[in-house]
Amino acid sequence: MGYNVVVVGATGNVGREMLNILEERQFPIEKIAVLASRRSLGTEVSFGDKTLKTQDLETFDFTGWDMALFAVGSEATKVHAPKAAKAGCVVIDNSSLYRYDEQIPLIVPEVNPQAIHDYKNKNIIANPNCSTAQMVVALKPLHDRAKIKRVVVSTYQSVSGAGKNGMDELWEQTKAVYNPTKDVPPEAFQKQIAFNVIPQIDVFMDSGDTKEEWKMVAETKKIVDPAIKVTATCVRVPVFVGHSEAINIEFEDFLDEDEARDILREAPGIMVIDKREPGGYVTPVECAGDFATFISRVRQDVTIENGLNLWCVSDNLRKGAALNAVQIAELLGREVLKKA
């Protein structure tokens, strides 16, 4: 036996990645449906050695389906997720719509799997922001040992976080640098992204933080510990896939860098590649297509008491989105539905 699974937004970057990961991890599926908006209706997507044709999200009946992995924007999710939930289909939502609802669990399975049982409140589970997901995987095992007081994080986020349009814009602008006869003005981003970095992701808030920075703060508190102080600076960089983060952590108790490395090596979902030699660390190019969150450059911060620095890299389309959603589906099946 397996589960009846729906992938909503199957033609987008994250939706396609969800299908890839469901197949790669051999998720027990009895029946699968792929949905898209009407403008993408009938588009074919790959699922293992099969080719699936997308159905219309507007008219789809979720009755009899066990779970739906949503990879569409907040507006479409707001309309269709409640319909799926009401029909008895558990929604695992990748948008930001439900992340801050106190009744809806926000889950990273390596960090707070116990929250899965709260799905019953609304039949909906939220997937965190991509930059938050990889960071909390690294923070949680360290927090369990020495209790984190404060986190200062600077992100270096790839253009795939802005979808296909962001990836296309980087590609076209890069070519245009070498072919000045073609002008490619910024559309997906606020300024030129090719050979540049942009210290703005999402809109500005009254505080001066961007929405992306606020998300990292709010989500870390909800997933790990509301007492942790977090400040973030989120930057878009000209990398196609893979988010990187420079993380500075202040603990209540002293934590030696060697012990921190050992803790992280034993933690689920983490690979530690940390050699103090040229190239002895992981970069976004090397993490693309991988399931793991990679940790490098672990070292004491001697400028504060009980401080530690580390470098964190992960494939944002995987752990930051599609993989985490599938891991939630696995957790839901294992702990709650128990059909397979």
What is the set of active-site residues? 130, 243
Structure tokens at 116: 């899965």
Q: Are 103 and 120 in contact (CB under 8 A)?
A: no
Q: Which residue has the tokens 């949503």?
A: 70
Q: Which residue has the tokens 């986190």?
A: 151
- Strand runs labelled E in the chain: 3-8, 29-36, 44-47, 50-53, 55-56, 67-70, 90-93, 124-126, 148-157, 229-236, 243-251, 270-272, 293-301, 307-314
Per DSSP, the three-state class of 115 is helix
DSSP string, 63-81: TT-SEEEE-S-HHHHHHHH
Q: Are 225 and 143 in contact (CB under 8 A)?
A: yes
Q: Name the strands in the sheet holding 243-251, side by side, starting at the edge strand that comes first in the sequence.
A: 229-236, 148-157, 243-251, 307-314, 293-301, 270-272
For the chain, how are helix, strand and coil distributed in percent, rounded to 5?
35, 25, 40
Structure tokens at 114: 């116990």
Q: Which residue has the tokens 């910024």?
A: 186
To 10 degrees, the CA torsion angle through 292, 296, 298, 304?
Answer: -90
Structure tokens at 44: 């074919």
| Nearest alpha carbon to residue 102 among 112, 115, 90, 93 | 115
Q: Which residue has the tokens 């992995």?
A: 69
